[in-house]
Amino acid sequence: PLEDLQVGAHRLAEGDLEKKIPVRSEDELGQLADSFNTMTDALRKSRTELQGWGRTLEQKVEEATRELHKAQAEAARSEKLASVGLLAAGIAHELNNPLTGVLTFSHLVRKQLPDDSPEAEDLDLVIQETRRCAAIIRRLLDFAREKTPEQKYVDVNQLIRETSQLIAQAAQVADIEIVTDLQDGLPAIWIDEDLIKQVIMNMLVNAQHAIGEDGMITVTTRERADYVRDDGKNEPMLEIMIRDTGCGISEENLQRIFDPFFTTKGVGQGTGLGLSVSHGTIEAHGGQIEVESELGAGTEFRIYLPLHGNGPDERGSAP
């Protein structure tokens, strides 16, 4: 029995908590061996619990680190947006007045020229590009002002149908099919109709540009009672999913698509403000935007809007 205890003590010192000492009798040495086994069992249980706590602590540290990095990135993005907004407002203000003068006098000179003259064609180009600059300035101002949503209860399914019709003709010309799969009976939600319509329009136009010709855009709505926000809280959401069969977005660009003035379009084809403004609009509604993409396999945007807003309890449901 003493040799058993000696061997057991050595094993215990080496960290082996699985080996039990045989209890050979019921005398004091047998009781000692039994107590030794009980102690070993308790140590094994404690070690297992400590290992479990260690793994849990590691997971919590990893989660906290991810949340911290995310919060830092969001803070940096917010600071960047605020700085860009001030810069955009100043630039727009300084450019708007001279640009208005250029456009006005261009129209006056154009009226004096024959329609078929080379000078008229050149001036038409000047007017066209000046209007495009004016449109960019308007978008800069919209971006800088961060318009507060003017909310009411809106049937999102109907809003999507109306918005899809606006680009349907251009899509048809490019052999792009727009398919809608809208869940029946969705409750109306508390949103700014014009702002959300602009977000969806921007997503659809971007999808059309990503496809170019011959492809499909799918728009889906559904209720997500099980949605978990980035902060870990569960909140019922209405999901709007817009998927295209376009060229897709690289992993590198996917991290920057919501940054202001970032665009993968050619020169003169985009300002890089559409997705940034859309991101801000959805956040102002208490929602979130998620995106997944693969080069050559298309892109999927998912917009989440709270099902239960702060409006009065008077709402309908989507057919």
Mean pLDDT computed over 131-140: 76
Grade residue 145 by pLDDT with cuts at 50, 70 and 90: low
| DSSP assignments along 192-228, one per residue | -HHHHHHHHHHHHHHHHHHH-SSEEEEEEEEEETT-B
Token pair, residue 284, equals 């102002």
Residue-level pLDDT at 319: 56
Grade residue 271 by pLDDT with cuts at 50, 70 and 90: low
Grade residue 300 by pLDDT with cuts at 50, 70 and 90: very high
Token pair, residue 154, equals 């809106």
Q: Is the pLDDT of residue 81 over 70?
A: no
Top-confidence residue, 262 or 120: 120
> One-letter amino acid identity for 112?
Q
Residue-level pLDDT at 178: 93
Can you give the length of the chain in residues? 319
Q: Is the pLDDT of residue 239 over 90?
A: yes
Grade residue 269 by pLDDT with cuts at 50, 70 and 90: low
Grade residue 155 by pLDDT with cuts at 50, 70 and 90: very high
Three-state DSSP class for residue 167: helix
Note the pLDDT tens digit of each residue in 33-45: 778 778 888 888 8
Place of tokens 């001030």: 86
Q: Is 98 left (phi over 0), alpha (psi -120 to 50) or beta?
A: alpha
Grade residue 217 by pLDDT with cuts at 50, 70 and 90: very high
Grade residue 262 by pLDDT with cuts at 50, 70 and 90: confident
Element (DSSP H or E) covering residue 109 = helix 28-111
Residue-level pLDDT at 133: 81
Top-confidence residue, 93 or 312: 93
Residue-level pLDDT at 176: 92
Q: Are 101 and 152 in contact (CB under 8 A)?
A: no
Note the pLDDT tens digit of each residue in 99-133: 888 888 888 888 888 888 888 888 888 888 888 78
Q: Is the pLDDT of residue 268 over 60?
A: no
Q: Are 264 and 252 in contact (CB under 8 A)?
A: no
Instruction: Give the rounded percent of residues in the chain with a pLDDT score beyond 70.
Output: 88
Residue-level pLDDT at 22: 77
- Burial class of residue 299, CB neighbours in 10 A (0-12, 13-18, 19+): buried
Residue-level pLDDT at 272: 66
Q: Are 277 and 144 in contact (CB under 8 A)?
A: no
Place of tokens 């009976």: 185
Mean pLDDT score across all residues of the chain: 82
Token pair, residue 111, equals 């009226």
Note the pLDDT tens digit of each residue in 6-36: 777 777 777 777 777 777 777 777 777 778 7
